[in-house]
Structure 1
Amino acid sequence: MHADPFALRDLVGPSARVCRRALTGESGVSLPPFVDHHVHLHLIDEHRLAEGGIAGVVDLGGDPVELARRGDGLPHVAYAGAFLTPAGGYPSGRGWAPDAIVRPVTDPSDHPGVPGGAATAVDEQASFGASVIKVSLNAAAGPAFDAAMLDAIVAAARVHGLPVVAHVEGEGMTRRALDAGVDVLAHTPFSEALDTALIARAAASGQRWISTLDIHAADPAAARTGSANLAAFAAAGGSVLYGTDLGNGDRPVGVLAGELTALDVAGVRGAALVDALSDPWPAAPVSGVATFVPGPTPRSLDDVAGWLSGATVVPSEELIHDDH
C-alpha cells in the first residue's frame, strides 16, 4: 500500500483517500462515483455496471417512454431520450436502433405540436425527463441537419434549459456543431483530422468531448484520428468526459481498460483521467456510493490507467478512511 496520501493525490487528484472496507477489511482507495457518459441501456446488462466500477450512466439514445419508467437505484441514469435526426438519417433503419429511439425532425418550427417540428421533438424528450437533447450529425451515413435546422433544435433545447449533445461524423460536421452552439460531442471526432484553430475554438467555447476512443480498436485510421484530435483538444484546455458507447460491440460492462488506456495515450492522465470519469454531467452527482479501487496504489502516472480498471462501486458508509 502506498503509505503517503499526499503522493497519491499528486497522481490522481485531491479526491483520493486511502481507506478500507468495514466488512472485509480490504484496503484500497476511495474516489468519487464514476460515470460512463455514453451508453445505450437497451443493448447492455446494466445490472453488471456497479460491480464493474460504474455508478452512473448517460443514455444517449433510447426509448424515452421506457427510460422515464425507470426507478431509483444503481446505476443512476441520466438520458437524452430519442435521437433527433433528419428523415432517413442515422441511426434510422439500423438493427440496434428500433423506431422508438429515433425521432425524425423535418421542420424547424418553434411551435409546439407541429408534426416533425424541432420544438415538438425537443418538447417530447423534455416531457419524459431528458437531461440532454441528442442530435445526429452524421453526413457519412445519410442526410445530416443543415445549419438552420440544427440552430432550431438547439434553440428549442435552450427553452427547456437543456444542453445539446451531437454525434458528429463526416466532413465539416464538427464545425457545424460548434457553429450551432452544441454543448457536447458524443464521440471524439474520428472521421476527419481537425485543424488547430477549430480545436482551440472548441476548447475555448467550453464544449466538452466524450471520449469513446475504444470503439475504434479494430479501425486503426479512426483510432489514430480520434486520438490525435483528443490529444490536441485536451492540450488546448478542453474538457473531456469518459464515455464508451457501451452497447456498440461486444465489450465488458463496467470501466473499460481499453478506454482508460486510450485516454492516457491521448494525454488525459492521472488526475485529469479521474476528473473525466467522475464528472457528473449532465446530472447531479451520484449520492450514497463511492468508487473503491482495491489493493496497492499506483506509484507513477504510467500505472494509473491500469489501476483504475480495477474499480468497483460500494456504499460510502462501508468505507473507513485512514488518511487522517
Structure 2
Amino acid sequence: MSAHDPWALRNLLGPDAGLCHRSLTGQSGVSLPPLIDHHVHLHLVDETVLGEHGIAAVVDLGGDPVALARRPRDGMPHVAYAGAFLTARGGYPSGRTWAPASIVREVTDASVHPGVPGGAATAVDEQASFGASVIKVALNADAGTVPDDATLAAIIETARGHGMPVAAHVQGAGMARRAIEGGVDVLAHTPFSERLDADLIERAATAGQWWISTLDIHRNDPRALGHATANLAAFAAFGGAVLYGTDLGNGELPVGVNAREVAALQSAGLVGADLIEAMADPWPLRTRTAAVATFVPGEPPRTDEDVPAWLARATVVPTEELTSDDH
C-alpha cells in the first residue's frame, strides 16, 4: 500500500481511517475513531496512561458503583460501567483478593420487586441509581455457586426495565449455553471453557448477542485459548457482533492498546474494517466519545500483519489538533 493512498488505507482500516497531521507536534499519521477497551477493572490499573496509549474510553465491568458514580463526567478516559458484580451467595468473585466487598452484590432472592433485601431487582436498581449503563452477572460454575434460572431471569427483566443490557461472565461447562438460552445480551468473555457447538453459536449470533474478546488473558493456557479463538471465529462467521476487550487488571496486560489482543482478534478472522469496528463501537453507549480521536503517528501499516504493532503506537488527541491530508 502506498503511504499516501487514502483508498488503500480505508480498505485496510475501515472507512473512518484518514491520513492527517497533528498541528501540535507536526507529526503526520493516521486518525481513527476513539478506541475503546470494552472490559476493564479500573480499580486494578493506572488509568491515567490509557489515553497516552490509544484508548479513549473504557467499559468497567466490575467495580465500586459509588466510586464510579463520583468520577468526573468529562474525564479521560471516558467511562461507562456496570457497577458491582451480581452473583449468588458466596459466588464468584466473592472473597477474591482483587475483589473488595464494595464490588460484589450477592443476590439471594429472585424477586423483581424493589427493596427486597438480597433481591434481584434491588441489586439491579442500585447499580442503575449510580449511573450504570450495563449490568454484570457472574455465571462462573468453576468457582462456586451461580444464580439460578429464576434469579437470572429476574436480573434480566429488571435491567431491561431500566433500558440496560446484561453482560455475563460465563465459565464452566454449560454456562455459555445458560447465558445464551437465558437471554443474556453480552458475554463479557468469549467462551473459553469448552468448544461450543455450531448451532448454539449461530443462535447467539442471530439473537443479536455481543461477545467481548478477552483472548489474550489465555495466552499461557493453550486449551482455553484454542476454545476461545475457535468459538469467536465461528461467532464472527455467523455475523455475531464482536467487541475488543482485554479484561485489563487481570494479570500483566499492557495499559493501552494491546497488540496481542489485536493479533488474537485477527487470528479469529476480524481484520480490516471489522477489527476497527470491534475496537471503536461505543457499546454500551450509542455515540462515540466526542472531540477526540485515536492518532497513530508515522507511516500507516501496509498489511494486516503490520496492524497490531502499529496500533500499539497510538495515542488519543483532540480532534481539533488533526488536519486531514486525504486528497
Q: TM-score, normalised on structure 1?
A: 0.98
1:74-93 paired onto structure 2 within 5 Å: 74-93=76-95
- Secondary structure of residue in 1 paired with 2:173: coil
In the alignment, the residues of structure 2 paired with residue 135 and residue 321 of structure 1 have an alpha-carbon distance, to the nearest angstrom, of: 43
1:1-324 paired onto structure 2 within 5 Å: 2-71=3-72, 72-283=74-285, 284-324=287-327
Contact in 2 for aligned 1:85/1:105 (Cα 8 Å): yes
In the alignment, the residues of structure 1 paired with residue 304 and residue 249 of structure 2 have an alpha-carbon distance, to the nearest angstrom, of: 30
How many aligned positions are there?
324
How far has the Cα of 1:263 moved from its partner? 0.6
In the alignment, the residues of structure 1 paired with residue 70 and residue 250 of structure 2 have an alpha-carbon distance, to the nearest angstrom, of: 24
Unpaired stretches in structure 1, ≥5 consecutive residues? none
How far has the Cα of 1:301 moved from its partner? 2.2
In the alignment, the residues of structure 2 paired with residue 173 and residue 194 of structure 1 have an alpha-carbon distance, to the nearest angstrom, of: 11
Q: Which runs of 4+ in 1 moved over 3 A?
A: none
Q: Deviations over 1:154-181 (max 9, x none)?
A: 0010111110000000111111111121
Contact in 2 for aligned 1:260/1:309 (Cα 8 Å): no
In the alignment, the residues of structure 1 paired with residue 313 and residue 275 of structure 2 have an alpha-carbon distance, to the nearest angstrom, of: 14
How far has the Cα of 1:305 moved from its partner? 2.5
Q: TM-score, normalised on structure 2?
A: 0.98
Unpaired stretches in structure 2, ≥5 consecutive residues? none
Q: Deviations over 1:61-120 (max 9, x none)?
A: 000000000002100000000000000000000000000000000101111110000000
In the alignment, the residues of structure 1 paired with residue 35 and residue 17 of structure 2 have an alpha-carbon distance, to the nearest angstrom, of: 13
Contact in 2 for aligned 1:68/1:129 (Cα 8 Å): yes
Contact in 2 for aligned 1:187/1:211 (Cα 8 Å): yes
Structural RMSD (CA): 0.9
Structure 1 counterpart of 2:176, one-letter code: T
- Secondary structure of residue in 1 paired with 2:234: helix
In the alignment, the residues of structure 1 paired with residue 198 and residue 5 of structure 2 have an alpha-carbon distance, to the nearest angstrom, of: 40
- Secondary structure of residue in 1 paired with 2:169: strand
Q: Deviations over 1:29-74 (max 9, x none)?
A: 0010000000000000000100010000000000000000000210
How far has the Cα of 1:288 moved from its partner? 0.9
